[in-house]
Amino acid sequence: MTRSSLGRTLRRAYWILGLVLAISLVAKLANQIPGLADTPAERVLASLYDYLKDMALVLVTVVAAYLANVFQKRALFLSALKEEWHNIVKAKSALFTYTQREAPTQAEYFAAFCTISESLDNMRAVYANVGETHKQIGLYPYAPLHDMRRALQSIEPEAGRQVTAEDRKLARDAILQSFYALRETFLEELDLEAPDNPLLIHNGRRMKKPGAPGWARRRQSRQHRYQDRNTPADPRITTFLTQLYDREQTTAKPWREVAAKPTGAVETKASPPAEAAAQT
């Protein structure tokens, strides 16, 4: 169920519900409305109000079940749409990889072709063709997928044919252009929103500094002492892991600078200090 179809369905449901509520209100106040009081119409409306009051629970249940069914269809549609988008991205990657090969084989071509072919056919489980009728096929909903297929077919490694680097580049550019055009419209149906905490700068850096609060370090120390008391350590493994830990802690990282050791300093091997906080 597409977004527009969902909107139409909900509007119909709201109109029907509003109409029922309006009729109920008129029926409830019929004896106070001039021209209706003490008339056969007033008695009919009173009976109608009693009926609606008796059927209120049934009405609410039916409306709730209907809306639940509508939203379930929408959820299933979105799930299928996301799966199809996953297939399209996979097909684009397969085609892009194929165009980068200098001497692709027939088997590699068939693998790439099958990937885009599956995406084309899986689309039919998500969308019907635009303008499709009982007598006419209609138009494929996302034509750039066929452009990607045709671009791939243009560089098929046929016998006796030489595919040049320029041919592959042209096909690759056409595939990427088609994919970007497809992405611009295909994802509109997913109602995507911008993130609440985006990172918009191109040269982003980690803001958190190495370390941990005191309570976390004390907990680490308690765990270390508890294991030492209750679980005998294998000296080989302890030495091995300690060396790896020390090596990692003395390796400079973008978020951690390692102070230079004084000349002539003796390197010592120690178990990981309880105060050290793991990098995450």
pLDDT digits (tens, 9 = 90+) for 73-83: 999 999 999 99
For the segment 137-149, the average pLDDT, to the nearest whole number, is 96
Cα gap 109→37, rounded to integer Å: 82
Residue percentage of the chain with pLDDT more than 70: 90
Q: Which of 190, 209, 228 is the last residue of a domain?
A: 190
Same domain, 85 and 167: yes
The least confident of 1-5, 36-40, 47-51, 118-122 is 36-40
Phi–psi pair at 252, nearest 5 degrees = -65, 140
DSSP state of 254: T
Same domain, 102 and 26: no
Q: Which of 169, 190, 211 is the last residue of a domain?
A: 190
Same domain, 119 and 177: yes
Task: Name residues whose C-beta falls within 8 Å of residue 97's C-beta, 6 or more positions apart in sequence.
Answer: 112
User: Please, what is the Cα angle at 141 between 138 and 143, to 5 degrees?
Assistant: 105
Task: Tell me what pLDDT residue 270 has.
Answer: 43
pLDDT digits (tens, 9 = 90+) for 194-230: 999 999 999 888 888 878 999 999 999 999 899 989 9
Same domain, 110 and 31: no
Rounded to the nearest 5 percent, the helix, strand and coil shares of the chain are 65, 0, 35
Task: Tell me what pLDDT residue 46 has.
Answer: 83
* Within-domain flag for 32: yes
Amino acid identity of residue 15, one-letter, is W
The least confident of 98-102, 172-176, 260-264 is 260-264
Same domain, 156 and 110: yes
Same domain, 40 and 100: no
pLDDT digits (tens, 9 = 90+) for 265-278: 444 444 444 444 44
Amino acid identity of residue 258, one-letter, is V
Same domain, 109 and 169: yes
The distance of Cα 247 from the centroid of its chain, to the nearest Å, equals 39
Task: Tell me what pLDDT residue 124 has.
Answer: 92
* CA-based end-to-end distance of the chain: 41
Same domain, 110 and 176: yes
Task: Tell me what pLDDT residue 216 has.
Answer: 95
* Within-domain flag for 205: no
Same domain, 47 and 82: no
Q: Which of 146, 162, 190 is the last residue of a domain?
A: 190
Beta bridge partners, 253, equal 256
Q: How many domains does the chain have?
A: 2
What is the span of the domain harbouring residue 117? 78-190
pLDDT surpasses 70 at 159: no
Mean pLDDT of all residues belonging to the chain: 87
pLDDT digits (tens, 9 = 90+) for 113-126: 999 999 999 999 99
Assign 134 a pLDDT band (cuts: 50, 70, 90).
Answer: very high
User: Please, what is the Cα angle at 263 between 262 and 265, to 5 degrees?
Assistant: 70
Same domain, 87 and 160: yes
Of the two residues 159 and 235, the one the predictor is more confident about is 235
Cα gap 40→26, rounded to integer Å: 15
Same domain, 30 and 92: no
